[in-house]
Amino acid sequence: MRPLIAALERALDREASTRPAALLRIGLAAITLVRFAEHLTFRDSTDLFRLAVMAGFWLGAPAMLVGWRSQAASALTAIAVVAGAARLATEQNGWNHHHVYLLVVAIVCVAITPCGRSCSIDRWRALARAERSGAPPPPERGLVWAQYLIAVQLTAVYLWGAIDKCNPGWLHGDKLQAQLLFYIFDSDPPDLPGWGALMAALSIGTVALELALAVGLWFRRARRWLIPAGVAFHITIYVSLPVTVFSALSCLLYLAYVDPDEVHRAIDRLTGP
Amino acid sequence: MMAAVRRRLRWFGFLAAAAWMLLSPAWVQLFGGSSGGVVRAWQMFHLRGAGICSVRFDDRGERIDRYAVLGVDRARAPARFRRIGDEEQARAMGRRLCGARGPGADVRALLRCGERRGLRTILDREENLCAR
């Protein structure tokens, strides 16, 4: 128990680089725009509520992307998406789907983190103020505990996704096969020897990988292997099933597991002389 | 003083949110409760794959390519041809194949239809669909 409490203390009271939070903010804003922009236009704003959601979204998401009043913009974006999902979700737009929930949780966590202290207009203005007053540049540091909540949420997605698949229908490969029939092969599965065994192996492999991702992404050594495996897994899902932004979102959220100062140093190394 | 309060709030917020994220899906997945629109159980793609069947026709053990036998281009085939959704549609397709293969054909079908938890076998090649 003591090591866990010590780890929690390190995570919750720690001030660290805000660059990962900024990268998450930019990525989440881009994904949010890709996912919702086409549905939030004057064409679709047929009543006052829709107009309010549209206004909140178009004020929040672009400001979140460029980092203008970053935390407030992130909060406004989250509110607009939650309001839209609560009242305007339909079978067609899929606004109540899992990926929208995950997206909102991540945006809320980013809104709690000082995500404007790096890579943002907020940062630009802070540097200009410091230059004018002759003060040193403000540090790109802050409390990053909410960033770890994103990682907790993604762990829950993998963990409960894997537990849900621990049933005979999935583990025998039948459920995966039914989904591939539905989206790719129609009623004629490929005439391949061992097709059924391949489906079973892929299904069991999926559960094993999800469990590995749920636990292993918390450990630095395992991340080296699990992040590429997870990215490949999500690309495979994307090209096989209609998951919209879920794949890109999950891959982006891997950033939340990485030590913020490590990310900071990596960016320094990439951009340095 | 304020720093201590803020720290406590931070700890409480983190632990409450993390506990909710990690434990609330158990309510639906392990205890069979309803999500009530509040709990996210991460049961993904449950309904996908239902309503379509996997069908394999054969004549005396030799697999029949129904597209080739009936002269249908797969890329242009209508959805009602490509997607067989139940036993009745599979039997109708079987009868068309019987007609195309001529007298003496012995067309059988392995039909498995998608449900919430996987595929259920409906026809297991036990019947010659040309017999009637």
**pLDDT per residue as tens digits for the range A120-152:** 999 999 999 999 999 999 999 999 999 999 999
Give yes or no: residues B24 and B75 share one domain.
no
Q: What is the mean predicted confidence (pLDDT) over A14-42?
A: 96
Say what the pTM is: 0.92
B127 and B57 in contact (C-beta within 8 Å)? no
Q: What integer pLDDT is reported at residue A233 of this predicted model?
A: 97
Q: What integer pLDDT is reported at residue B49 of this predicted model?
A: 83
Q: What is the mean predicted confidence (pLDDT) over A232-257?
A: 95
Interface of B with A in 47-76 (CB under 8 A): 48-56, 63, 66-67
Is B47 among the domain residues?
no
Give yes or no: residues B119 and B91 share one domain.
yes
CA distance B10 to chain A (A): 7
Give yes or no: residues B70 and B104 share one domain.
yes
More confident residue, A223 or A88: A223
Count of alpha carbons within 13 Å of A133, Cβ hemisphere only? 9
CA distance A268 to chain B (A): 30
The pLDDT-based confidence of B34 (bands split at 50, 70, 90) is confident
Of A149, A155, A179, the CB nearest to B45: A179
Q: What integer pLDDT is reported at residue B91 of this predicted model?
A: 95
Domain count of chain B? 2
A19 and A1 in contact (C-beta within 8 Å)? no
Q: What is the mean predicted confidence (pLDDT) over A19-31?
A: 98
Task: Say yes or no for a CB contact (<8 Å) between A98 and B44.
Answer: yes
The pLDDT-based confidence of B35 (bands split at 50, 70, 90) is confident
Q: What is the mean predicted confidence (pLDDT) over B9-38?
A: 92
Checking ipTM against 0.95, whether it exceeds it is: no
Give yes or no: residues B24 and B63 share one domain.
no
Q: What is the mean predicted confidence (pLDDT) over A178-206?
A: 94
- Looking at chain A, the whole-number percentage of residues with pLDDT higher than 70 is 100
Q: What is the mean predicted confidence (pLDDT) over A99-127?
A: 97
Of B21, B49, B55, the CB nearest to A175: B49
Is pLDDT at A186 greater than 70 in this prediction?
A: yes
Is B4 among the domain residues?
yes
CA end-to-end span of chain A: 45
Task: Say yes or no for a CB contact (<8 Å) between B17 and A172.
Answer: no
- Looking at chain A, the whole-number percentage of residues with pLDDT higher than 90 is 85
Residue B20 near chain A (CB below 8 Å): no
The pLDDT-based confidence of B71 (bands split at 50, 70, 90) is very high
Is pLDDT at A85 greater than 90 in this prediction?
A: yes
Give yes or no: residues B34 and B59 share one domain.
no
A202 and A176 in contact (C-beta within 8 Å)? yes
Is B25 among the domain residues?
yes
Give yes or no: residues B58 and B35 share one domain.
no
Secondary structure letter of residue A58 according to DSSP: H
Is B30 among the domain residues?
yes
Q: What integer pLDDT is reported at residue B132 of this predicted model?
A: 65
- Looking at chain B, the whole-number percentage of residues with pLDDT higher than 90 is 74
The pLDDT-based confidence of B46 (bands split at 50, 70, 90) is confident
Is B117 among the domain residues?
yes
Give yes or no: residues B99 and B72 share one domain.
yes
Is B130 among the domain residues?
no
Is pLDDT at B6 greater than 70 in this prediction?
A: yes
Is B48 among the domain residues?
no
Nearest CA in chain B to A100: B40
Residues in contact with A68: Cβ distance below 8 Å, sequence separation at least 6, in sequence order? A120, A121, A122
> Which chain B residues are Cβ-neighbours of A146 within 8 angstroms?
14
Task: Say yes or no for a CB contact (<8 Å) between A183 and B48.
Answer: yes
Give yes or no: residues B59 and B35 share one domain.
no
d(CA A222, CA A21) in angstroms, rounded, equals 22
Q: Domain containing B118: what range?
A: 53-124
Lowest mean pLDDT among A1-15, A115-129, A165-179: A1-15
Name the nearest CA neighbour of B44 among A181, A39, A204, A159: A159
Is pLDDT at A222 greater than 90 in this prediction?
A: yes
Q: What is the mean predicted confidence (pLDDT) over B77-104?
A: 93
Q: What is the mean predicted confidence (pLDDT) over A195-212?
A: 96
Q: Give the SS3 label for residue B104.
A: coil
Average per-residue pLDDT for chain A: 94
More confident residue, A130 or B116: A130
